[in-house]
Structure 1
């Protein structure tokens, strides 16, 4: 353990980085709201530079665009036209702040157990990589929920970013060399893409209609590139289970009818999130149960 990492793990430095992770999460959540609104509408994320009210289109000054705080102070309404601002803005900022915090809490230089059973991460450089992956997962989820599409910036961009960052940060795959990290990423990305593509083709043949969108296929490819082949297998099982539970619940509650269209991307993203936080620990426990070590 380097001296810098050891210092960062000690109080008050650990507390400082904990607060910083929440702050960064809220700020990136604010930018996520910009992306969620603009990207599917073909509006550049950088122009206009400032956020604006979707009702009166007046630009929002910086003093009224403080993540989390401004929404509460303004009561979820535009200061100028008093139009309602979707609660999604507050939800995304809160969610991103919480998830950034949980990912930071995984950091454990000596590999000791973490709070809430989080799988420990010994390399601090993996943390920002996970943050970037979360950014893409949240963006893809909320766009898919509203527009039934997953932007190529998330999927294709995620595949490219996953491969490059695996090369630069091989510990993302518990690899010791850059070449090994690259190999793990390529295997994971290929497995995720072609496995779900095969499921999609089979579903179309069986049900005579598209079982899922091609964006879902590319999204699992991106997840495999970031997290590896084990995460892909976990994701196939977990996303199907989550999707089944949610789908049945929505039908029973009268929110959807049998055969209604439900975006699958959010379930893939939720399964990827579970893997980032707890997946490797669950995988090890399952393998030990199925294949107990020899005495």
Structure 2
């Protein structure tokens, strides 16, 4: 799916700002708001890059991962390493599954960039809640696939980058966690 950059930038900025404003209305201002704003920048960067080139930049994932480790260290000082280990294990598992699917079918289903982003995102959401982010990203991807394929017309785009959906879902789950909204 090709998205003109002139439309993608304001659309992504609006989506992140709307999520931030709606959910943070019930959150305490302060460090959490700064963390959410800081997290949004590499997520938007990787989303725009993935939309244009079907590639998630390693630099963006590294920023997210380092920030996530720091976040876990300060929020859970006695068990941050457990979250780090779980995130690395999840990334390795998804990387392996994606590689096996590629070897078997010859088409990339889940790329290494997606696996790395999920691992880095788990450092912000926690291992237990990364599954909600994955679910939301899958729903978003399915909706986009259905909306982008004209019914009965051949030649519709067959590939949709998953990174932007993962990025926004990770962001929303993180916002839900820092807000005082009871969502489960």
In structure 2, what is the Cα distance between the partners aligned to 1:235 and 1:188? 16
Q: Tell me the CA shift for residue 89 of structure 1.
A: 4.8
In structure 2, what is the Cα distance between the partners aligned to 1:219 and 1:255? 32
- Match status 1:273 vs 2:179: no
Q: Which one has the bigger helix percentage?
A: 2
- Match status 1:196 vs 2:94: yes
In structure 2, what is the Cα distance between the partners aligned to 1:251 and 1:226? 33
The residue correspondences of 1:120-131 to structure 2 (distance < 5 A) are 124-131=30-37
**TM-score of the superposed pair, with normalisation by structure 1:** 0.51
Q: Tell me the CA shift for residue 90 of structure 1.
A: 4.1
Which residue among 96, 101, 107 is the counterpart of 2:21?
A: 101
- Alpha-carbon distance change, 241 to 207 in structure 1, aligned in 2, over 3 angstroms: farther
Q: Tell me the CA shift for residue 139 of structure 1.
A: 1.5
- Secondary structure at the residue paired with 1:252? coil
Q: Tell me the CA shift for residue 184 of structure 1.
A: 4.8
- Residue 237 of structure 1 is matched in structure 2 by 135
Contact 2:95 2:111 in 1 (8 A): no
Kindly indicate whether structure 1 or structure 2 has the higher relative contact order, using CA contacts under 8 Å at least 6 residues apart: 2
- Secondary structure at the residue paired with 1:211? coil
In structure 1, what is the Cα distance between the partners aligned to 2:155 and 2:69? 38
- Alpha-carbon distance change, 194 to 164 in structure 1, aligned in 2, over 3 angstroms: same
- Secondary structure at the residue paired with 1:271? helix
Give me the CA root mean square deviation.
2.9
The residue correspondences of 1:40-119 to structure 2 (distance < 5 A) are 86-108=6-28
Which residue among 116, 124, 129 is the counterpart of 1:218?
A: 116
- Residue 257 of structure 1 is matched in structure 2 by 156
**TM-score of the superposed pair, with normalisation by structure 2:** 0.77
In structure 2, what is the Cα distance between the partners aligned to 1:238 and 1:93? 19
- Secondary structure at the residue paired with 2:171? helix
Instruction: Give unpaired runs (5+ residues) of structure 2.
Output: none
Which residue among 41, 55, 59 is the counterpart of 1:153?
A: 59
- Alpha-carbon distance change, 98 to 237 in structure 1, aligned in 2, over 3 angstroms: closer
User: What is the aligned length?
Assistant: 176
Larger radius of gyration: 1
- Secondary structure at the residue paired with 1:194? helix
Which residue among 78, 99, 111 is the counterpart of 1:179?
A: 78
Instruction: Give unpaired runs (5+ residues) of structure 1.
Output: 1-84, 109-122, 285-295
